[in-house]
Structure 1
Amino acid sequence: MKFAYAFPLAGLAAAFATAAQAETITVATVNNNDMVIMQSLTSAFEEAHPGIRVNWVVLEENVLRQRLTTDIATDGGQFDVMTIGTYEAPIWAERGWLVALDDLPEAYQEEDLLKPVRDGLSHNGSLYALPFYAESSMLYYRTDLFEEAGIEMPEQPSWEEVREWAAELHDPANQLAGICLRGKPGWGENMAFVSTLVNTFGGRWFDEEWNPELDSPAWQEAIGFYVDLLGNYGPPGASSNGFNENLALFSRGNCAMWVDATSAAGKLYNPAESQVADRLGFAPAPVAETPKGAHWLWSWALAIPASSEKQEAAQTFLTWATSQEYIELVGETQGWTSVPPGTRESTYANENYQREAPFAGFVLDAINSADPTDSTLEPSPYVGVQFVGIPEFQSIGTQVGQTIAAALTGDTGVEQALQNAQRATARTMQRAGY
């Protein structure tokens, strides 16, 4: 009997030895649906790369940004892979905080990455992050409600039309909001949406001399419109709702309209995830005075901090999670509407994706038409559609987001909120030497 158990025990010992030798990388990411899917496929990565184990840190968006910024600025070394975006990549690369991804394997097919997305994650011609998914913004609406009300969606809706439709469709007695929009404060939460609203109302964050314009007539009009629209026709507690909260509301049937990221389309069109999958329509993000900057450009991407001591293993994970093979894996195991959108030409050429995702061509056009170098009616000195590509914007955007949220809850008036935002932003820019 002793001899009979020798081989199984030997095999078990070998397995433990392999596990002990495996290198563990820590991946920090946001708790969005696409990243939750990535985490669920960890075993597929570890089976293909038995020498690497993955430890996950999954956080809400605002918390993730705070943790990562603190860690990388202090050379903390807690993470080997960071989920960052189009805002951070060039700024952090310039400061030497990220590893340049200049030696990607040929099989990765870097040229397959969509050019606007690739450019947004580059600095001085080098990629510093690989796009996991990318997005613009769009208007989602309930086709059944529009048909019942006799509303026909035009090719390009205006914000004035959206307000009229929201008023007509708002039905709080039946837990239906006329419209859902981001209200949760944060430079990447409410201000991502609000910045595009201000853009299309003809406003800008700064003039060409870097003077803030947050108390300008365009900002007053845009924020007044936003507070009135969401206050009258939004869901209860709108000031606490970010992307994930509104996605849950819309997918449950609690919103007649929602303007937000194109990346939500896959989940909303998936009958297993959405109660409105069979009555979902989409249109371009609404416009007001100008179409410039009405829809954003963003990429959630994976980067390697220079402080990581496991850069080779980290790059192995990066190239796997952003590869054509990963997209195929998600399509085959989770369904083609669940693949990470917006990153590769090959995704949009894939017949399976074209067949299952009616929004595919629309999203591709929205991403390709967003121009971070020309997003405001009047000239501006910054790059970015829904953000300002300077290091100070992270704190400025979050502070302004808090004042906008205060106006939304009625704690302060719109005019006072914008005066407060103007003064705080002017102080920050003055201290920064602009």
Structure 2
Amino acid sequence: MSITSRTRRAFVAGAVVASSLFSMIAAGEAAAQDRKIKIWFGRQDFIPEDQFKQLEADYPGIKVEFEVIRLEDVTAQLVLAVRSGTAPDIIQMYWRDVSQLAAGGVIKKFGHQIEEMKTRFPETYANLAPLTWTGASDSDGNLYGLNLYASSIYLTYRKDWMEEAGIALPLETTDRVIEAAIKLSQIGSGGERAGISLLGCCSNPNWELPLFMAMGGEMKEGVPMVDSEAGIAWIDFYQTMMREKAASPDTSSWDSGQMRAAYIGERAAIMHEGEHIYVEVQKQVPYESGKWTFERLPTRPGQTEPHVQAGFAFPYIVTVANKDEEAAMLALEYLARPEITKQVSIRYQPSTNNAVHSDPEYIKAKPWAADIAPLAGTVIPMPHHPTRSIQVHDVVKQLRDTMIAQPNADARALAAEYQQKLNEAAGF
């Protein structure tokens, strides 16, 4: 064999080896670059201020894509996206729908990766309250992600107007709330100020169901037992407010935005609302002024059942579309960090990260934080039907709309009629 032939063969062999090494390196780089995580947030306010820049700096191979799919729409959108192969890795959703999506096979059990997070990031894990886990689990206790934000509904009112009218505080029971609302309303005398701001259409029953439970209402497998003493009193509460002109005559067309605007705009004395909306109230009437305050939701007169302060969770849940479980876990850990949860809590929903609650910046931004902490500490997740929560809530919405629009209807008859509809919706 000539020197030229040997040289040519050696060159070819070297080129093959070099090509193989180059391909391996390129494949490795491509794999690192392909660690994309897609997240659907339920609201714009939940998105971290740095838009994941720090996460991507900590883990150069990970790239996060995100968009807002409203909490109200995400369940239906996820089912369609899974079918079409375009589903995200992580969604933010109402806790009520976790069991239903788990039964539908579109979300992924993630408890093993949460254990990995606990091992690798013990400081982050240690700061998270128990609601972090219960608010991201199904009815069988299987964990699908993290619940980092939760909120309840509180009885919120203008303390200064109450005092001017000689109304003793706290109110505590529904009969006294009704009396205060009637006394403070100017609707009947031709004025614009309502005694209470209610919603009458369009929105989920996130305001009405917590009051039902506070009044001693029973939830059977996530279905409200409205055909009961507590349920009838609950229906009558809303009807009385409308009948006695304590609420705006336009209430039947009000959604949550209009209901809030009336109170924030000082056109209503009372509202049932979550702590996250206090951020907007604060801009109009500072809490430090002492003009407004809050208390737990009222019980009904003579109630023997225990008071329950129920709330709602907005967990981050991993879907079956996720293939890179470590990347999803790292994204969840990032979202759970105190600096991230503090940002969101200051501008929006309170967090299950306990480190936030004592942070000076948080306390300064939310001067009511110390006062609401004892109430928030008693919040439990609102019970939901494991597979038909959406259908059940649709019936509750219909009942809510009816008791606002028909204040003179017989409350007992409405309770019986809608209990049958609720039972049918739940498959009882």
Shorter chain as denominator, the TM-score bin is 0.7 to 0.9
Query: Could you tell me how far 1:427 is from its partner in structure 2?
Result: 2.7
User: Which AA in structure 1 matches 2:197?
Assistant: C
1:401 aligned onto 2:397: yes
Match of 2:144 in 1: 128
Q: How many residues align?
A: 382
Q: Distance in 2 between matches of 1:406 and 1:25?
A: 44
Q: Distance in 1 between matches of 2:108 and 2:123?
A: 20
Match of 1:57 in 2: 68
State the TM-score, normalized to the length of structure 2: 0.75
Matching residue within 184, 190, 198 for 1:181? 198
Match of 1:30 in 2: 42
Q: Give matches, 1:125-274, under 5 Å.
A: 127-154=143-170, 157-172=172-187, 173-185=190-202, 189-190=204-205, 192-206=206-220, 213-230=225-242, 232-269=245-282, 271=283, 274=284
CA contact (8 A) 2:148 2:352 kept: yes
Runs of 4+, deviation exceeding 6 Å: none
User: Deviations 1:209-239 (Å, cap 9, x if unpaired)?
Assistant: x997433343222102212214532235334
CA contact (8 A) 2:153 2:210 kept: no
RMSD: 3.6
User: Which AA in structure 2 matches 1:81?
Assistant: I
User: Which AA in structure 2 matches 1:98?
Assistant: K
Match of 1:320 in 2: 334
CA contact (8 A) 2:103 2:387 kept: no
**Counterparts in 2 of 1:267 and 1:315: CA distance versus 1, 3 Å:** farther
CA contact (8 A) 1:136 1:295 kept: yes
Which shows bigger deviation, 121-130 or 293-302?
Answer: 121-130
User: Deviations 1:396-434 (Å, cap 9, x if unpaired)?
Assistant: 2212321331232239934454333222233344xx4x5
1:78 aligned onto 2:87: yes
Query: Could you tell me how far 1:167 is from its partner in structure 2?
Result: 0.8
Match of 2:421 in 1: 424
Q: Note the residue ranges of structure 2 that are not aligned, 5 or more in a row.
A: 1-28
State the TM-score, normalized to the length of structure 1: 0.74
Match of 1:5 in 2: none
**Counterparts in 2 of 1:200 and 1:132: CA distance versus 1, 3 Å:** closer
User: Which AA in structure 2 matches 1:133?
Assistant: Y
**Counterparts in 2 of 1:216 and 1:282: CA distance versus 1, 3 Å:** closer
1:390 aligned onto 2:413: no
Q: Distance in 1 between matches of 2:412 and 2:84?
A: 41
SS of equivalent residue, structure 1 residue 388: coil
User: Deviations 1:230-260 (Å, cap 9, x if unpaired)?
Assistant: 4532235334444444333322222211112
Q: Distance in 1 between matches of 2:150 and 2:402?
A: 30
Match of 2:133 in 1: 118
User: Deviations 1:372-412 (Å, cap 9, x if unpaired)?
Assistant: 5xxxxxxxxxxxx4x43421222122123213312322399
Higher-Rg structure is: 2
Query: Could you tell me how far 1:275 is from its partner in structure 2?
Result: 4.6
Q: Note the residue ranges of structure 1 that are not aligned, 5 or more in a row.
A: 1-16, 373-384
User: Which AA in structure 1 matches 2:281?
Assistant: L
**Counterparts in 2 of 1:63 and 1:184: CA distance versus 1, 3 Å:** farther
CA contact (8 A) 1:138 1:261 kept: yes
Which shows bigger deviation, 93-102 or 143-152?
Answer: 93-102
Q: Distance in 1 between matches of 2:372 and 2:81?
A: 34
Query: Could you tell me how far 1:133 is from its partner in structure 2?
Result: 1.5
Query: Could you tell me how far 1:143 is from its partner in structure 2?
Result: 2.5
Match of 2:320 in 1: 306
Query: Could you tell me how far 1:371 is from its partner in structure 2?
Result: 4.4
SS of equivalent residue, structure 1 residue 109: helix
SS of equivalent residue, structure 1 residue 179: strand
